[in-house]
Amino acid sequence: MSAINRLRELEREIVHLHDAAAVLGWDQQTYMPKGAAAGRAEQLATLSTLAHQKLTSDEFRSTLEEAEKESATLDPDSDDAALVRVTRRDFDKATKVPEELVTEESRLTALAHEVWVEARKKNDFGLFLPYLEKIVDLSLRKADHLGYEDHPYDALLDQFEPGAKTAEVKALFQSLREPLVGLLREIQATGIESSGIMTRSYPIEKQKEVTNDVVQRIGFDFETGRQDIAPHPFCTSFGNKDVRLTTRFDEHYLPGSLYASMHEAGHGMYEQGSPDEYEGTFLRGGASLGIHESQSRFWENQVGRSRAFTNYYLPRLKEFFPESLADVDEEAFYRAANEVKASLIRVEADEVTYPLHIMLRFEIETAMVERKVNLKELPELWNSKMEEYLGITPPSDADGVLQDVHWSGGMIGYFPTYLLGTLAAAQIWNAMQSELGGLEARIEAGEFQPILGWLRERVHRYGRKYLPNELLKRATGSELDSTHMMNYLRAKYSEIYGLSVTV
């Protein structure tokens, strides 16, 4: 047996352990009884430790070294060469982190998730604070083990967006802040108020039917996936034939489920599009969380909040909600779906204010990592930045510092990928429009397969084979370019609100 094939065998065991842990994690956020938290923490810690032991073993190391010798004569663009390259990157990271730290992190974050759920329900940041303090300490220890040149946040960010640097992200976000805030202020100055369409009564049982219907129409395959309910919408997968979406419902806020489900379906279709031959290997999945987010934001916004999609799907929505939508035409619904208003909750934010939510989280996380903020004072810091960026102050910690699940999962360094993905989504839309043309007409006709097919060919089929910027360049012709998003937002919202179209 060749060393590369042996490497595949060893990776399969590790991937299956991670899949088993992911099943337990999905269950914890959907169906697990509250009293099972301590036992679940131990189960997850065991699986994470076993996976780490296998990845850092002498057998794995020697097999990887032999595989590298074999791959030296291969085409660097071949799957075998890519497998060895990606495995080396993962192995080097894993061997830098002590086993006991892996075990501690898995146990701590499993417990912290349940405490976060309770703290948010009770609006009690103090309940979550001791766990957050431990998670920040652990993250900094992890960053020290992983190593970095300029900033400890680099090591944490690299886990989610390989190759990204804190300084580059900071400069990019700073360049976007002024034009975004300027666009928001122009929209606010129009004085156009909310129509209230989205906050009418939309019975939850009917919303459940809608979200299943809409994700299936755009291409999510229920033969290899399902959708459930969670406190914070997410997508996870245990292979390309077992992908799980979650969403949440509010009777008086239709976008909270409709667009959340389209968003998570974007993630899900990416996972379903991972090649069969990558299953059980480290090539399976997405290039990065930023690229993953480009898929979810693309379906949520470029497709879901388009006028074409409104024209296509509103008649169907009226069948589900005849009383609430009887007096609503396509133009009114389109404008309601794209109302710009500073709001408290990130996942419910409009396209203009959403990037500002990410920027403030990035600033808070870097301050946490730099030890420039006392974690007890996070609610006050959060609220002050909400006022600075969006002009509003959260009335409670549940709608403020406690609203996101990420810190309870130890995912410090994750937030920037949401905006990086949003930028990439606009870039991908433009590239697709240039190549396919007539995207709006396709959407209005309910023809989503050519759109999904383009994404399958240009993004999904490569799995983790390429680093994010390399993959984006292959798909669109250039590395990440923020002008696509700003041009998109300026054109779209100038038309809706009657503004100047100059960027």
Q: Check if the beta carbon of residue 291 is closer than 8 Å to that of residue 472.
A: yes
The answer to whether the Cα torsion of 436, 439, 445, 448 is positive or negative is positive
Q: Which of 186, 264, 363, 365 is catalytic?
A: 264
pLDDT of residue 77 exceeding 90: yes
Q: Where are the domains of the chain?
A: 3-147, 166-497
Q: What is the mean pLDDT of residues 335-357?
A: 95
DSSP one-letter code for 237: E
Long-range contacts formed by 30-37: CB under 8 A, 24+ apart:
30/228, 30/229, 30/230, 30/246, 31/228, 34/114, 37/110, 37/111, 37/113, 37/114
Q: Check if the beta carbon of residue 50 is closer than 8 Å to that of residue 17.
A: yes
Nearest to 426 by CA among 337, 351, 340, 331: 351
Instruction: Say if residue 395 is exposed, middle or buried (CB neighbours under 10 Å; 0-12, 13-18, 19+).
Output: exposed
Could you tell me the pLDDT band of residue 503, with boundaries at 50, 70 and 90? very low
Nearest to 301 by CA among 351, 340, 348: 351
Q: Where are the beta strands (DSSP E) in 183-242?
A: 225-229, 235-237
pLDDT computed for residue 271 by the predictor: 98
Could you tell me the pLDDT band of residue 502, with boundaries at 50, 70 and 90? low
CA distances from 448 to 133, 155, 241, 309, 457 (A): 46, 38, 21, 10, 14
Q: What is the pLDDT of residues 220-261, one digit of tens each?
A: 999 999 999 998 899 999 999 999 999 999 999 999 999 999
295 contacts: CB under 8 Å, gap ≥ 6: 266, 267, 269, 270, 286, 421, 425, 455, 459
- Torsion of Cα atoms, 409 then 410 then 412 then 416, to 10°: -30
Q: What is the pLDDT of residues 277-327, one digit of tens each?
A: 999 999 999 999 999 999 999 999 999 999 999 999 999 999 999 999 999
**Average pLDDT value over all residues in the chain:** 96
- The proportion of the chain whose per-residue pLDDT surpasses 90, expressed as a percent, equals 98
Q: What is the mean pLDDT of residues 331-339?
A: 97
Q: Where are the beta strands (DSSP E) in 193-242?
A: 225-229, 235-237
Q: What is the pLDDT of residues 8-21, one digit of tens each?
A: 999 999 999 999 99
Q: What is the mean pLDDT of residues 366-388?
A: 97
Residue 157: Cβ within 10 Å count: 29
- Is domain 166-497 classified as CATH 1.10.10.1100? no
pLDDT computed for residue 1 by the predictor: 77
Q: What is the pLDDT of residues 108-117, one digit of tens each?
A: 999 999 999 9
The Cα angle at residue 333 between residues 268 and 221, in degrees rounded to 5: 20
Active site residue 264: yes
Which conformational region is residue 197 in: left (phi greater than 0), alpha (psi within -120 to 50 degrees), or beta?
Answer: alpha
Q: Largest Cα–Cα distance in the chain?
A: 70
Could you tell me the pLDDT band of residue 501, with boundaries at 50, 70 and 90? low
pLDDT computed for residue 500 by the predictor: 75
Q: What is the mean pLDDT of residues 205-225?
A: 98
Which conformational region is residue 49 in: left (phi greater than 0), alpha (psi within -120 to 50 degrees), or beta?
Answer: alpha
pLDDT of residue 480 exceeding 60: yes
